[in-house]
Structure 1
Amino acid sequence: MPVKQSLLRSLRCLARARDGVALIEFAYSLPIMVALGLGGLELVNYTTAHLRVNQIAISLADNASRAKQDVIGSNPRFRELDANESIRAAQLQGGNLDLADHGRVVLSSLEVNKQGGQWIHWQRCGGAKSYRSRYGDEGTGRTGRGFGGMGIGSRNVQAEPNFAIMYAEVYYDYQPLVLARFIPDQTIYKTAAMYVRDDRDLSDDGIFNPSPKATKSTC
Structure 2
Amino acid sequence: MRQIASSLISTGARVAGLRSFCHQNVLQRTLPCAVSECASLVSRKRPSIMSSGNSVLIETNLTSRLFHTTNFIFSQDTDLIAGEPDKLYSLIEVECRGHEPAVLRSYQTFVSSSAAHLNISLEEILWPKKHIRRWTLLKSVHIHKKHRVQYEVRTHFLIMKFARLTGSAADTFLEYIQRNLPEGVSMKVTKHELQKLPEHVKPSPEVII
Normalising by the residue count of structure 1, what TM-score does the alignment of the two structures yield? 0.27
**Greater relative contact order (Cα 8 A, min sep 6): structure 1 or 2?**
1
Structure number, greater radius of gyration: 2
Normalising by the residue count of structure 2, what TM-score does the alignment of the two structures yield? 0.29
